[in-house]
Every structure is written in C-alpha cells, then in structure tokens.
C-alpha cells in the first residue's frame, strides 16, 4: 500500500491555513501543522481534522532537519496578516525572513513550495492588477502598508531568481489572495471580513455600517473589492498540487469587483432582512491609503488550465451564513 501524501502547512490554525488543512485531511493526507495556538479559540479551526503533528514555529528548522525528507510539499500560509501592524521588524522576521528561509530549504531538498502572497502588493491599484511575474513588472508596484511590502519582497526575490534561472524548488507557487471570506476567520478580530464582523448586528436588527466615499466617481458604499470565498481559494491550491508542472505567482480572486453595497445587500438577503445602511466617516489613519477598487486579472490562472467557476458573491455569502455563521458550531 502506497503512503499518503505528506504536507507541512504553516499558519495552519489560521483562516486560509485551517481550511486548507480540512481539505487535505478529506483527501487522506498526512498533515503536519506549524503555528502558535495562543490563548484564543483558534485551536477549534483544527479540531475536526486528523493531523500528523503540531510544530511551534520556533522549532520548525529543527523539525525540518529531522523529518522534512518525507514531505511532498510545504504550504506556507503563515504570516502576520494585519494590514495595520506597525512593528515592521516583527513583520520582516515573520513574513520575509521566514518565507525566504523556507524557500531555501525547499530548494535545497527539492521539495515543492507554495506560499501566500497578497493583493496588498498592488497598493492603490494605479499600476493595475495584472499578475505579470517579471522583476520589471513587480518594480512598478507600490504597496501601501508594511504587510503588503513584506509579501512584495518575497515575490520580487523569487522573480529575480527565476529570471536568472537560479535554483528553485521543483514546483514554486505564490498566490495573491484578494478579499477572502468564509469559515474559521473568527479569531482575526478587526481583520475578519466585513461579513463576519457585521453578521450578528444585522441579524439582531441593526443597520449595517459602510464607509462614506471621499473620492469622485464612487458613491457612498460604492467602493469595490474582489471578494472570494475561501472554498474557492482552497480548490485552486488543491488543483495546483495536482499539477506539479505549474510554477509562478498567480492572482486569486474571482475576476469581478463588487461594491460594498452589493456585499451588504447579499448579507441582508441571506439573513432575510431588507437592507438598512448607515454610512460612517472613514478613519483619518485609513483615508490616505484606502483602496477604492481591486479586481484580480485571472487570465494567467485560466491560461494555466484552471477552468472551474468561482462562487458568485450572493451564493458565497448565503453559504457562509447558512452553513457556518448561523450554525451552533461555525467551524469547518
């Protein structure tokens, strides 16, 4: 009997990481999870799934030296993902150095490497949202916060190595996640999706709150984002694992921007209420680097062969509300 595939998932107790663990467990894989569990309820993100081991990040190098030879791939989802984190040294350590060290280990051991990048690398969007992966194209992007910068550093380094035809893992993949929502994001506090933050208030009969617009051409609540269900993100990752010949950095959104008003309308519809919206002023510290529009260009992923449809926003939010947010146990 052949052994099951073996994966290391960093950030495995987090939002996207735990959904990935769930999907890999359903495939019967051996999964070693690497994360800090802290003192909150994020352990519940993992509680329903069989795992092969739990490694704290400070012991990861030692673990890899002793056990890494059996891995089929490293799936690196771990990072400080708060866009308002001000400790740049901490971001550099967790997001940049840790990622490049894992890249080097995977290169040295010929282990497949998939990591989380972000749409935050696109900054205000003035340079577009095309995931062209050349050093020259990436140099045009200007992230607006330290989190986006940290992801951009890793993207640029790998792009440079690829351009020089220097050694890289046998499969290397980066995913620029856009606005992801779905189950297991509850521990993220203010970094949760607007849906998760607003659900209880809207269900209780309160109005939803959206930012006023301070830019011509965008009405209040008319700012737009590319919202994608975490289930779709995981499906793309699984597909990429099934196609080890594919390398590169790819956008991961739906390819269709939707307004916050549409998002709110979909939440009200899923709950069974008519929309009632209060518009509030945008915080001063946010106004100067607020993204009014994001929309993933998905042509490269489609050209690589991914042909599955993404969940429309209304169906995705209904699934989130009915299957998870309104359930006694909202965890996947």
Catalytic residues: 147, 188
Q: What is the DSSP string of 98-141?
A: HHHHHHHHHHHHT-EEEEEEEGGGGTTSTT------SHHHHHT-
Dist CA 188 CA 176 (whole Å): 19
| Euclidean distance between the first and the last CA atom of the chain, given in angstroms as a whole number | 30
CA 293 – CA 262 distance, rounded (Å): 14
Determine the length of the chain: 332
Instruction: Supply 250's token pair.
Output: 């790819």
Q: Which two tokens stand for residue 35?
A: 């994360």
Beta carbons within 10 angstroms of residue 327's beta carbon: 11
Q: Is 93 helix (H, G, I), strand (E, B) or coil?
A: helix
* Euclidean distance between CA atoms 318 and 313, whole angstroms: 9
Cα–Cα distance list, 145 to 92, 138, 217, 284 (Å): 12, 16, 25, 15
CA gap 115, 85 in Å, rounded: 20
Q: How many of the other CB atoms lie within 10 Å of CB of 78?
A: 26
The Cα 130–Cα 303 span in angstroms is 14
> CA–CA separation, 100 vs 305, rounded Å?
28
In eight-state DSSP terms, residue 94 is I
Strand order in the sheet with 73-76: 53-55, 30-34, 6-10, 73-76, 112-118, 172-177, 248-252
């Amino acid at each position: 009997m052949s052994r099951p595939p073996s994966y290391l998932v960093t950030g495995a107790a987090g939002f996207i990481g735990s959904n990935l663990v769930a999907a890999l467990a359903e495939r019967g894989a051996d999964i070693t999870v690497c994360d800090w569990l802290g003192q909150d309820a994020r352990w519940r993100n993992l509680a329903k799934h069989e795992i092969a081991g739990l490694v704290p990040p400070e012991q990861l190098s030692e673990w890899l030296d002793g056990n890494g030879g059996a891995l089929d791939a490293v799936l690196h989802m771990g990072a400080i993902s708060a866009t308002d984190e001000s400790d740049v040294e901490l971001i550099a350590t967790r997001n940049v150095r840790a990622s490049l060290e894992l890249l080097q280990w995977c290169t040295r051991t010929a282990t497949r490497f998939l990591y989380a990048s972000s749409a935050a690398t696109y900054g205000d969007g003035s340079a577009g949202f095309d995931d062209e992966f050349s050093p020259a194209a990436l140099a045009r992007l200007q992230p607006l916060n330290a989190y986006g910068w940290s992801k951009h550093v890793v993207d640029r380094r790998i792009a440079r190595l690829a351009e020089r035809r220097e050694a890289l893992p046998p499969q290397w993949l980066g995913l620029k996640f856009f606005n992801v929502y779905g189950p297991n994001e509850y521990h993220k506090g203010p970094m949760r999706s607007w849906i998760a933050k607003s659900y209880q208030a809207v269900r209780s009969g309160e109005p939803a709150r959206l930012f006023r617009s301070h830019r011509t051409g965008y009405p209040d609540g008319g700012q737009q984002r590319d919202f994608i269900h975490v289930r779709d993100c995981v499906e793309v990752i699984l597909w990429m694992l099934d196609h080890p010949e594919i390398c590169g950095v790819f956008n991961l959104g739906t390819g269709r921007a939707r307004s916050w008003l549409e998002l709110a309308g979909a939440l009200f519809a899923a709950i069974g209420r008519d929309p009632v919206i209060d518009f509030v002023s945008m915080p001063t510290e946010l106004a100067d680097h607020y993204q009014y529009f994001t929309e993933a260009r998905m042509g490269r992923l489609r050209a690589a062969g991914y042909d599955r449809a993404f969940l429309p926003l209304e169906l995705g939010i209904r699934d989130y509300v009915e299957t998870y947010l309104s359930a006694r146990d909202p965890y996947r």
